[in-house]
Chain A
Amino acid sequence: MTIVDLTSMGEPQTDLKKELNARLTKLQDEISDFCFQCGKCTSGCEAHKLLELEPHKIVALLKRGLLNELVNSDIIWTCMSCMKCRERCPQRVAPVDILFGLKNMAVASGKEIPGKYTGMLQSILSMGLIQDIQQATTRTNKTVKRDELGLPPLSKPVDVTKFHAGIMKIAMDKV
Chain B
Amino acid sequence: MKKKYAIFPGCLMPTEQYAYELSIREIIPLLGIEIVDLEGFSCCGEPMKSVNQFLTLYLSARNLAIAEKDNLDVFVPCAMCHLALSECQHVFENNPEMKKRINGLLAAENLTYTNKRQIVHTVDLLHDHIGLETIQQHVKKPLKGLKITAHYGCHLIRPSEIGRPVDSENPQKIEAILTAIGAEPTTCPQKLDCCGAPLLTNLPESALTKTGQKLQAIQEQGIHGMVDVCPWCHKMFDNRQTKAGETVAAKLAVPVLYLPQLIGLAFGLSPDALGLDLNLSPVEKLQQKEEA
Listed in ascending order, the chain A residues whose CB lies under 8 Å from chain B are 6-7, 16, 46-47, 50-51, 77-84, 86-87, 92, 94, 100-101, 103-104, 107-108, 113-117, 120-121, 124, 128-134, 136-140, 144, 146, 149, 151-152, 154-159, 162-163, 165-167, 169-170, 173, 175
Contacts and interface: CB of A to CB of B under 8 A. Distances in A.
Nearest to A174: B54
A149 B52 contact: no
Contacts of B93: none
Nearest to B52: A104
A96 B133 CA distance: 39
A155 B37 contact: yes
A158 B39 contact: yes
A144 B40 contact: no
Contacts of A137: 278, 280
Contacts, number: 179
Given A124-B42, A129-B43, A146-B14, A152 B154 contact: no
A159 B128 CA distance: 37
Interface in B1-56: 9, 11-12, 14-16, 18, 21-22, 25, 37-43, 47-55
Interface in B181-198: 192-194, 196, 198
Q: Which of B37, B42, B59 lies at the interface centre, i.e. has the most chain A CB atoms within 10 A of its CB?
A: B42
Interface stretch (B114-122, B138-146, B202-210): B202-210
A80 B42 contact: no
A156 B18 contact: no
A83 B164 CA distance: 12
B45 to A, nearest CB: 9
A5 to B, nearest CB: 12
